[in-house]
Amino acid sequence: MMDIHQVLKKLPHRYPLLLVDRVIEIEKGKRILALKNVSINEPYFVGHFPHRPVMPGVLILEAMAQAATLLALDSTGTELDDQTIVYFAGIDAARFKRPVEPGDQLLLDVTLDRTKAGIYKFTGKAWVDKVLAAEAQLICTMRRIDA
């Protein structure tokens, strides 16, 4: 389990793009369950959509990717620094099943399918009240960058 303070130590993201509020459970090298509390105060709701606020699908995918990053870091014992970053390398089979609205609690359920040569493949699912909201295959890579 990780609270927001521990999440902030692990991920480089900050408001408004930090999309994981808490880690409920983590199985090293296998699976992570994380939460994103969706609030009407999120900046994207001003324009998406003013008459019926809906969390953009790309941000649901980003939330799953941030949970996946936490799983990868935990699995490898890696700490991110100024020269290490995790990038999206691909998204496959993304499906959106239900709108995510203010007041919803997004449960991010991500499993590590495989890893090879710094490339990680995950299956991500996002749930609201036990109803599948979105799912996708996420491919990420951890790389060292020049300062």
Which are the catalytic amino acids?
A: 48
**Domains of the chain (ranges, CATH numbers):** 4-144 (3.10.129.10)
Nearest to 7 by CA among 34, 27, 29, 42: 34
Non-local CB neighbours of 79 within 8 Å, separated by 6+ positions: 10, 73
Q: What is the pLDDT along the chain (147 residues), one digit of tens a residue?
A: 999 999 999 999 999 999 999 999 999 999 999 999 999 999 999 999 989 999 999 999 999 999 999 999 999 998 888 888 899 999 999 999 999 999 999 999 999 999 999 899 999 999 999 999 999 999 999 988 886
Q: Record the pTM.
A: 0.96
**Cα gap 41→131, rounded to integer Å:** 23
